[in-house]
Chains A and B, each alone.
Chain A
Amino acid sequence: MAKLILLFALATFAFAQEHATPGDAHAAANGEPAHKTEEAAEPIVWGMDLTAWKWVNFGILMMGVGYLFAKQGVPFFQERATGILKDISDAQKTKSDADARAASMEARIANLGKEIEQMKADASAEMQSEGKRLEAETAQTLAKVQASAEQEITSATKQAKAELSAHAASLALELAAGRIRAGLSDGQSKGLVSAFIQDLEKVKN
């Protein structure tokens, strides 16, 4: 940008040179005001036509401008063109991505019905499978509970029988003890001790 400004300044300077008259130049050289020279009817001619010089001057100016334009302007515009091309390329890429995404979404939306049907079918199959599994599990649990209950009943019956047997034995033996106690004479008591002594002798022998 700074280069462009410089180029513009040079062009302005050249333009100013182009419109300055020789009187202005002479006045400027003598330090007098320029309007005094306007009193002369004709411009000062130094023996040759100045038009050619003007063209030469213009040509030099154009060459300078051309040089500056070639050196500074062309890369600038190339750079701008490259940037614009890159932006266009990026925009195209973004657009193609968006198009692809939109196409994918459309495809998915189109398959949504099928997917829903598939999901329904899967869920139905899973429910059936789960139902069968639960049924089998329940049957297994029932069998276990039944076996356990039968075992408990058997055990309780055995225990009840044992308790009943023990109670009956206790009652019978209490009765027997009472009768023995009531009917035991001194002689029989001594006889029991003697029998015990004889048993001890037998143990030794």
Chain B
Amino acid sequence: MSLAVASRYSRALAEVVFAPQCSTKPEQVIADLDAILAAMAGSPDLVRILRSPAVSLNQKRTILEKLSAQLGGSPVTANLLKVVSDHGRITILKEIKRSFQQVVDERHGVARAEITTAQPMAPEQKIQLEAALGRLSGKSILATYQQDDALIGGAVAKIGSLIYDGSVRGQLATLRRKLVNG
């Protein structure tokens, strides 16, 4: 439910940001939202105030305006915060940012890949893997790498909801299913 709502907000935000007359860049909005989310994560009192029904909408707006100004946020971000706060959706700001990131990536033809390996990868392998994933998705790949010993060997690449599993753990799991199901 919150994902669907977040998607609506993010698409509306993208329409504003990608409009020709808008001077604010999408990356700027993403950076602003990251800063706001970091501030909220560091201040539970701030979150409590923004969520509280006892605090009026005007007070919340004032707080968010001051916060956005202190963090050097763009007017588009400040407006977004006002709208989200007025509709009581400040709790899904993180999802809105994530969804907006995806929209921006889609518009830029970028796919974010999470690559997990058992051992650290060599740079040339990273280049080869990103190239292979780029050819596979038809987009340029922005990859993030992490290590997981449980994979035993090989690698797992995740792009959006698609998972490419080339790990030993995955192959053993496939073998197990075959053994159990006969």
Residues of A bordering B, CB below 8 Å: 162, 165-166, 168-170, 172-173, 176-177, 180-181, 184, 186, 188-190, 192-197, 199-201, 203-204
Contact = CB atoms under 8 A, between A and B. Distances in A.
Contacts of B16: none
B166 A170 contact: no
B155 interface: yes
Contacts of A170: 176
Nearest to B179: A169
A200 B136 contact: yes
Contacts of A172: 179
Interface string B100-125: 00000000000000000111011001
B178 to A, nearest CB: 9
Interface in B123-182: 125, 128-129, 132-133, 135-136, 152-155, 157, 164, 166-169, 172, 175-176, 179-180, 182
20 contacts: A162-B180, A165-B182, A166-B180, A172-B179, A180-B153, A184-B152, A184-B153, A189-B119, A192-B153, A192-B155, A193-B117, A193-B129, A193-B166, A194-B125, A195-B154, A196-B164, A197-B132, A199-B166, A200-B136, A204-B135
A195 B175 CA distance: 18
B166 A176 contact: no
A169 B176 CA distance: 6
A192 B135 contact: no
